[in-house]
Amino acid sequence: MFKKISIFIVVALLVYSCSKKAPFDTVTEDDLATHYCNDPLAINYNHGFPGTPDNSVCVYPTEVFTGTYSLTDSIYNGEYELDTILYYTIGFKANSLTELRMYGFCPSGDSVRLTADRYYKALVDSTLSLPDSNMVEGHVFCRAVDTIKGTINKYIGDSTMLRINLTIASDTGVNYHIGTGVKK
């Protein structure tokens, strides 16, 4: 008896699961009235889909970083002990949709090359070369013996704030720069 009831339930579920459903591809004119960004490099890629593709509404990674910031930079030594706190102004200038430069971080006027992604993060570009090379990860910074690497993140909910997390290796040791910037 239990076996017959189980078979009946299974057959009923199969019939129900094979029944015709409403079509899923019904798009109205109102759905297509909105415009959305169709560029995978953009932060708002496919936001507003379905609609009409319109790349003029795209927001690119460098756009969220571009500008001038007041930076509070906490510098830690190689043992993660607080060494110095500095306050200075840094600026970001876009070179392309994903590449930008940070100015004002190095006293000599050198810029830091960064690559931004659609997840509100900019990575310091690397000079890392072939495996048999003697080059260090990161890129030359301020002096020929300094190398910088790390990330800069934007706060997603607050367009005026950013966070730096950089490591500078030099002939005198390693320093960690951790700080917060506020857009001017």
> Can you say how many angstroms the Cα of residue 99 is from the centroid of all Cα atoms in its chain?
12
User: Quick one: 69 and 108 in the same domain?
Assistant: yes
Residues in the chain: 184
Inside any domain, residue 175: yes
CA distance 117 to 98: 6
Cis check: omega of the bond before 50, within 30 degrees of 0: yes
Residue where one domain finishes, among candidates 39, 59, 79: 59
User: Quick one: 44 and 76 in the same domain?
Assistant: no
Helix (H, G, I), strand (E, B), or coil: what is residue 10? Answer: helix
Residue where one domain finishes, among candidates 59, 81, 113: 59
What average pLDDT values come out for the chain (184 residues) when binned by 10 residues? Answer: 79 69 64 84 88 89 95 94 95 94 87 91 73 54 79 88 92 92 95
CA-CA-CA-CA torsion sign (25, 27, 31, 34) = positive
Q: Residue 13 is encoded by which pair of tokens?
A: 């579920």
Residue where one domain finishes, among candidates 15, 37, 59: 59
Strands (E), the chain: 35-36, 52-53, 67-76, 82-94, 99-103, 112-116, 121-124, 139-141, 143-154, 161-170, 173-183
Inside any domain, residue 19: no
> Can you say how many angstroms the Cα of residue 181 is from the centroid of all Cα atoms in its chain?
16
User: Quick one: 48 and 76 in the same domain?
Assistant: no
Inside any domain, residue 6: no
CA distance 137 to 134: 10
* CATH number, position 101: 2.40.128.20
Inside any domain, residue 17: no
pTM of the full predicted structure?
0.73
Inside any domain, residue 162: yes
Inside any domain, residue 151: yes
Q: What is the largest CA-CA distance in the chain?
A: 88
Inside any domain, residue 7: no
Inside any domain, residue 12: no
β-pair partners for 182? 70, 161
**Domain range holding 148?**
62-183
Residue 102: what pLDDT? Answer: 93
Question: Structurally, how many domains does the chain consist of?
Answer: 2
- % helix / strand / coil in the chain, to the nearest 5? 15, 45, 40
CA distance 118 to 159: 14
